[in-house]
Structure 1
Amino acid sequence: MEPTTTAAPSPDERALHDRALLEEAAKKSGLLWVLAEGQSQSRALWHAWHDGAVVVVGDGAEQPLHGLTAGATATVTVRSKDKWGRLTAWPAEVSELTPQSEGWLGAVEELKGKRLNAPDTDTIGDRWARECRVLRLAPSGPLSEQPGAMSEASHAAAPMESPVTTRRPIPAGLPKLVLKRLRSR
């Protein structure tokens, strides 16, 4: 019996596979990283998948959308839901949805379900229309990373500047003190 060989997928099949991968990854992941054009560090954003693109809401009292502007490009990296590591990345075109437009209303409905602990669940859409921007990040090219073709770079980022300090070493006598209290019980 002859071994069977499989033909390489056609470009159309590959594009369909890539599109299915990015869509499924974006739908299942609750968090993604977006590197805006001209920025040096990506930002973690919560999002929703709507009408063939990632939608995010930010600014105002919501997550900051530094560097994301309509007409710009960005790189979207999605993590695996179970392992939390990078699963796929792709270039995206950024567009801002006009408040109360049909696309905006659909995106807001999807985003409402993803927004945890909102202080104004009943009127969140009105607040977003007044104070926030709803952006659409539409895939605009082939995947730049995917299983089997990942970047070797670590992608680790330096921690953001903060006045908070790390814990100092515990005092040398503390373990003895704790053990002494435990023994006396």
Structure 2
Amino acid sequence: MLAEAVRKASVAWIAVGDGPAYAVWCVPVDDALYVVTGPGEQSLPGLAEADAAVVTLRGDHGGRIVSWPAQVGRLTPADEAWAAVAPQVAAKRLNSPEPAPRLVERWAAECVLSRLTPAAAPPTTGDALPAGSLAATPRETPAVRRTRRPFRLHRVRRRR
């Protein structure tokens, strides 16, 4: 089940250490998940330095189906796998600000490409998963603003 969930993954919730889980886009390649973090990309605090993380994946209907401990490794441009994996990940990047070859060059210079593979510990599935929502209160952000009432050009009459 874990291998099937990893192959179908496009979004994963990843928690590093005791921190909260972050929803990030990911690309499955050869039974591993690849995640790009860094400037201009998604933020996942601590993943670039971590050796382990917990990954939660959803099923076809949106519910959580498996949670597994992962070993985290970094892929660098010096690695042999970089030439094969980085272009695949760049091709799957939605709303890219630049073409895939330039994206790979920028990742090599500024970002971290992390490889998450299942650790030896067994995954948590089925009834062993928490039944509750696990939703946390929203984090503070400077992007909050007060909403206005909608503008109306003419007076709207109520029907009686």
TM-score by length of 1: 0.73
Shift of 1:71: 5.2
CA distance in structure 2 between the aligned counterparts of 1:113 and 1:71, rounded to whole angstroms: 26
Paired amino acid for 1:97: L
Larger radius of gyration: 1
- After TM superposition, the structure 1 = structure 2 runs for residues 60-99 of structure 1, keeping only pairs within 5 Å, are 60-70=39-49, 72-80=51-59, 82-99=60-77
The residue that corresponds to 1:6 in the other structure is none
Cα distance in 2 for partners of 1:142, 1:179 equals 63
1:115 deviates by 0.0
The alignment's C-alpha RMSD in Å is 2.5
Residue type of the partner of 1:93?
Q
Q: Which of the numbers 111, 116, 123 marks the counterpart of 1:143? A: 123
Say if 1:157 and 1:107 are closer, same or farther in 2 by CA, change over 3 A: farther
Unmatched segments (≥5 aa) in structure 2: none
d(CA) in 1 for partners of 2:18, 2:127: 28
Which residue number in structure 2 is paired with residue 36 of structure 1? 16
Mean CA deviation greater in 57-66 or 148-157:
148-157
Identical residues among aligned pairs (%): 37
Cα offsets for 1:41-94 (capped at 9, x unmatched): 1111111112221111110211113111355211000012x3212111100011
1:25 aligns with 2:2: no
Q: Gaps spanning 5+ residues in structure 1: where? A: 1-20
Q: Tell me: CA distance 1:83–1:179, structure 2 relative to 1, closer, same or farther (3 Å).
A: farther
Q: Distance in 2 between matches of 1:31 and 1:166?
A: 30
Change (3 A) 1:152 1:123: same
Q: Which protein is richer in helix relative to its size?
A: 1
Matched ranges for 1:1-185 at <5 A: 21-39=1-19, 41-70=20-49, 72-80=51-59, 82-121=60-99, 122-140=101-119, 141-144=121-124, 146-163=125-142, 164-165=144-145, 167=147, 177-179=155-157
TM-score scaled by length of structure 2: 0.83
Work out the CA distance in 2 between the residues paired with 1:71 and 1:158.
Answer: 25
Higher strand share: 2
Q: Quote the Cα distance in structure 2 between the aligned partners of 1:130 and 1:177.
A: 57
Paired residues, number: 154
1:24 deviates by 1.8
Whether the aligned pair in 2 keeps the contact of 1:38 and 1:67 (CA below 8 Å) is no
